[in-house]
Amino acid sequence: MLLSGLANTVYRILIIDDDIQNIFVLEDILAPLGNIYFSESGSNALALVDKIKPDVILLDIEMPDMDGWQVCNALKSNPRYRDIPIIFITGHTEPEFEKLALESGGVDFITKPFNASICCLRVHTQLKIRQQNHLIIKAKEELQQLVNQVPMLITYWDNEGHNLFSNDYSGAWFESLSGQVSGKHISTIFPNELSRAVLMHQPNVTSDPLKYIVTVIDKLGMSFYEVFQSKMKSSAGVDGYLVTVVDVSEVKHAKQALYSEKERLRVTLNSIGDAVIATDTKGLITFMNPIAERMTGWRIKEALHQKIETVMQLRDANTRHTLLNPLYIALREQRIVAMALNSQLTARGGQVFAVEDSAAPIRNENGEVIGAIMVFHDVSEAMAMAMKMSHLANHDQLTDLPNRILLQDRLSVACSTAKSFGSKAAALLVDIDHFKYLNDSLGHQLGDEMICLMAQRLRSLIPPSYTLARLGGDEFVILMSDTHSVDATSVLASKLVEAMHEPFTLAEQKFSVSISIGISVYPNDAADAEELMRHADVAMYRAKQEGRNRFSFFSHDLESNIRERHQLETCLRNAIANDELLVHYQPKFDLATKHIVGAEALVRLVGPDGVFISPTEFIPLAEETGLIIKLGKQVLLKACAEAKHWLDMGQVIPVSVNVAVAQFSDPNLANLIEKALTDYQLPAELLELEITETALMIDAAEMQTKLSQLKSLGIKISIDDFGTGYSSLSYLKKFNVDVMKIDMSFVKDMLNNKHDYEIVKTIISLGKSMSLALIAEGVETEEQRLALLELECTMGQGYLLSRPLSADDFNAFLFANEN
C-alpha cells in the first residue's frame, strides 16, 4: 500500500439467527476474530446493520419473520450494504441450497452442526478479502491524491505528442492546461519554449530520466523549469513518455530570498518570548532582542561591545556564587552548552529571575566560529508550577494527605530502614464501615466532607512522625516507621477504633461511624513494602468479616483463606463466562401417590479438580461479587430449555427456579423471563419463581408491584424457606403468590421437637387459609411423609423421595416412574 498499511482492524461480525443456542455457539467460535453482534430476527437485523456497519454477516436461511433469502435481497438492494459479504448458515446440505445461496449474493455457505475450525476459517477468509479490497481502494485514492498534490507538473504523452494524462486540472501551471486536455497535442498545451524542448528530446529519451532546464518568457517575466523526461509504458499498454516539470525560478532569485530570510529572522528574534544575546568570539555583545533588554535591564545601545558577564550576571540560586556564562564554554568547545541548574539572573535594577536554556556557537558559511548566541527565558513561574504539580502528583486532592504514590515510596524507605536497624514498620489500613451507604444517602458532597473530617481526626490521633495517607474512596493508611514493638500498633489501633465513637457533625446533624483496621508488621508478616500493604488489606477484610468496628492482625491462615476465596471466585467467573454451570433437578412429589408434580432447578459448580463445590460456598460469593444476576440468568435459561424438553417428551412438569435478592431487584427480570418463555416456547404456567421470604420484606410496596408484574406473565410465585424470615402476616396476605414452601429446618425435627411440629402445623394452616399450595422441603423419612399428609400438606421434596439429579438422570428417573 502507498500510505495505508495493514492496520490492526477490529472486525465487526453480525450473526442473524432465530436460535439463541446457534448464536452462542457461533459467538464462542468467532470471538477471536473480532466483536460479535447478533440479532434473532431478520427485520431487527436490518436496523442493526446500519448501526454497527458489520464487516461480515452470518445469515440463517430459515427464520420466522423474514427468512434468509428476504434479508439477503433487502441488503443487496441497498447500495450502502450490498458490498457486505453474507455467509449463509443452515442445516440443509443439499447442493441446490448452496447454489441458491450463492446466486442470491452470498459469498459462502456454512452448514450445521458447525465445524469450529472450518467455520472460523471461512469467516476469517471473507474478512481478510474485505480488508484487502478496502486497502486497494484506499491505496488508489491515496495514490491519486498524492499525484494531485505533489508540487510538480506530471504529464504523460504518446509518441506523437498527444496528451494521455496531466495532474493539473485547473490550469495552475499553465492556463492552457485547464479543462479537458486529453488527446491534445503538446504544442497547444505547453508554452512554445517548453513544448519545442520536449519534442526535440523525445527521440533520444530512454527509460532513464533525461533532465534539462528550459527558460520560458511570458507576460509575468522570466521563469525557469527543470524538466525530467523518460520513456514509459502505461498499464493499458500504451507506449509514450513521461514528462515532469518543476518550477526552479526561486533559485534564480536567491539573493532576494536570502535578504527576505534575514529580515524575517530579525523580526522573529525581536518577537519571540525568549531572550537572545549574541556576541563575537571574545564575548562582546553584538545583539540583544527586547526580551533580553527587559530581563537584564540594559538597552542594546548601552550593551553593545560590553562583556556578556557585565550585562548578564548569573549566580547559583543556592550558594549565590557567580557562575561562568555558558556562552564562553560554547565558544571554547564549539558546541551547544546548557545553562547550569538553579541559575539566577540579577537584572540591572536588582530584580532576580530563575533562568534556563543554552548557548551555541555561530558559524559562517565555511564552518568557522564567528561568535556565539545565548538563548534563555524566565522559568520562575514554571518552577513554582513544577513544585505545585509535584505536590499534586503525590498528594490526595480532597484531603491533601499523601496519596498511594508517595505512600509507596515511604513504605519502601520504612522497610529498608527497619531492615538496616533491626526495627519494625507497620501498616494500618483503615476503612470506614458501610461508607457506601452513608455516601449514597448523604450525597457525594457531604460524603467528601465526611472523608475530610475523618482525615482530620485520624491525623490528630497519631504522632507527626507517622505517615497518614489516603488510598482513595474511604481507605486510609497509617505507616508506623521505626517502631520496636508490635504492641504499639495494637495500642494505636484500639485508640483509633475507640475515637470513632465520637459522632461527626455534618450539615448540623450528628453521624456515628465506625472503622475496620487491618494491621501488617514488617518483617514479621511481610518481606517487602508491597507484601506489607497486601497483608494489611487481607487483615482488614478479616476485621470486616468479624463484624466491623474492630482491628485485626494479619496471619498466614487468613492469607490462605483469602487465596482460596480468590480461586473460588475465579472458578465461578470462568464457569459463568464459559457457560459451564450445571443445573440439577430435585423432583417434587405428591406425598400420597409419590407421583412427580414438579422439579426445582438447583445450580451446581464443578471445581478445577472435577469435584462439585457446595452451593453454600459459591452462592454467597456470587451475591457478594455481583455475579448472582449472570448466574441466575444461566440457570433460568437452562431450566426453561429442560422443561420444554420434558414437555416435548409428553411430560408436563413445572420447573421452579430460585431468585436471589439482587435478581429480584433487577428491573430487567420480567423482560428476561418473558424472552426466555418466548425463545423456548415454554407455557408460562410451567415456570415457577422461588423467592425468599426475606427478599419480599426489603420494600413491601415495591415488591408487591414487582410480583404483580411477574404474575402478569402467567408464571407462578413461591415463597421459599417460609418461617425463617421476619415477615408480617399483614404484609404477607398482600403478596400475590401461589406456593408456600416449608423450610427443611422445621421438617427435619418436627417429629422430635414439639415446637417445630407446631410451627409446621401453623404454616400449613396459614397456607390453606390463604389458598396457597404447600410444599415441604427436606422430607427424609417415611414417618415425616405420613405426618405431613396427616397435617394436609400434600406435596414435598427431599432425600426420601429423590436427591437432586442431573438432567440425564432426571430423564431416566421420569422414564422409570412411568413404568
For residue range 659-702, what is the model confidence (pLDDT) as tens digits?
988 888 888 999 999 999 999 999 999 999 998 866 666 666 77
Distance from CA of residue 190 to its chain's centroid?
Answer: 59
Distance from CA of residue 565 to its chain's centroid?
Answer: 25
For the chain, helix (H) and strand (E) counts, in that order, are 29, 33
> What does R_g of the chain's alpha carbons equal in angstroms?
42
Query: What domains, with CATH codes, occur in the chain?
Result: 11-146 (3.40.50.2300), 150-254 (3.30.450.20), 277-384 (3.30.450.20), 422-442+455-554 (3.30.70.270), 571-818 (3.20.20.450)
CA 496 to CA 581: how far, in whole Å?
Answer: 45
Q: Give residue-wise pLDDT tens across range 105-152.
A: 888 888 888 888 889 998 898 888 888 888 877 776 666 566 666 678
Residue-level pLDDT at 697:
63
Question: From the CB of residue 742, how many other CB atoms can be counted at a distance below 10 Å?
Answer: 26
Pick from 576-590, 701-715, 719-733: least confident: 719-733
Grid coordinates given for 666: 433487577
Q: Give residue-wise pLDDT tens across range 383-396.
A: 777 778 878 888 89
CA 151 to CA 245: how far, in whole Å?
Answer: 9
Do 547 and 766 touch, CB atoms closer than 8 A?
no
CA 400 to CA 448: how far, in whole Å?
Answer: 13
Residue 355, CB-side half-sphere exposure with 13 Å CA sphere: 31
Grid coordinates given for 99: 447454489
CA 22 to CA 679: how far, in whole Å?
Answer: 12
Strand partners, 654: none
CB-based contacts of 762, cutoff 8 Å, min separation 6? none
Q: Give residue-wise pLDDT tens across range 770-786.
A: 889 999 999 999 999 99
Residue-level pLDDT at 456:
95
Q: Which helix (H) or strand (E) holds 718?
A: strand 716-722
- Examine the pLDDT at 626 and tell me if it is beyond 80: yes
Q: What is the DSSP string of 487-545?
A: HHHHHHHHHHHHHTTSPEEETTEEE---EEEEEEEETTT-SSHHHHHHHHHHHHHHHHH
CA 297 to CA 271: how far, in whole Å?
Answer: 18
Residue-level pLDDT at 728:
45
Residue-level pLDDT at 443:
82
Q: What's the predicted TM-score (pTM) here? A: 0.43
CA 303 to CA 297: how far, in whole Å?
Answer: 10
Q: Is 412 left (phi over 0), alpha (psi -120 to 50) or beta?
A: alpha
Residue-level pLDDT at 141:
65
The pLDDT-based confidence of 727 (bands split at 50, 70, 90) is very low
Q: Label residues 658-681 b or e (16+ Cβ within 10 Å = b).
A: bbbeebbbbeebeebbbebbebbe
Question: CB burial class (10 A; 0-12, 13-18, 19+) of residue 436?
Answer: exposed
Residue-level pLDDT at 729:
55
Higher pLDDT, 306 or 701: 306
CA 108 to CA 129: how far, in whole Å?
Answer: 12
Do 401 and 395 touch, CB atoms closer than 8 A?
yes
Pick from 214-223, 359-368, 582-591: least confident: 214-223
Kind of pairing between the strands at 153-158 and 515-522: unpaired
Q: Give residue-wise pLDDT tens across range 492-528.
A: 999 999 999 899 988 888 888 999 999 999 988 888 9
Residue-level pLDDT at 524:
85
Do 104 and 72 touch, CB atoms closer than 8 A?
yes
Q: Which helix (H) or strand (E) holds 690?
A: strand 687-692
**401: which DSSP letter?**
-
Q: Give residue-wise pLDDT tens across range 269-280.
A: 777 778 999 999
Q: Give residue-wise pLDDT tens across range 233-244.
A: 765 566 788 888
- Examine the pLDDT at 4 and tell me if it is beyond 90: no
- Examine the pLDDT at 750 and tell me if it is beyond 80: yes
Residue-level pLDDT at 813:
92
Do 399 and 430 touch, CB atoms closer than 8 A?
no
Grouping H, G, I as helix, E, B as strand and the rest as coil, residue 583 is strand
What percent of the chain has a predicted confidence (pLDDT) above 70? 92
- Examine the pLDDT at 588 and tell me if it is beyond 60: yes
Residue-level pLDDT at 381:
76
- Examine the pLDDT at 726 and tell me if it is beyond 50: no
Strand partners, 505: 510
- Examine the pLDDT at 730 and tell me if it is beyond 60: no
- Examine the pLDDT at 172 and tell me if it is beyond 80: no
Q: What is the DSSP string of 426-455?
A: EEEEEEETTHHHHHHHH-HHHHHHHHHHHH
Q: What are phi and psi of 639, to 5 degrees?
A: -65, -40
CA 696 to CA 721: how far, in whole Å?
Answer: 12
Amino acid letter at 361?
A: P
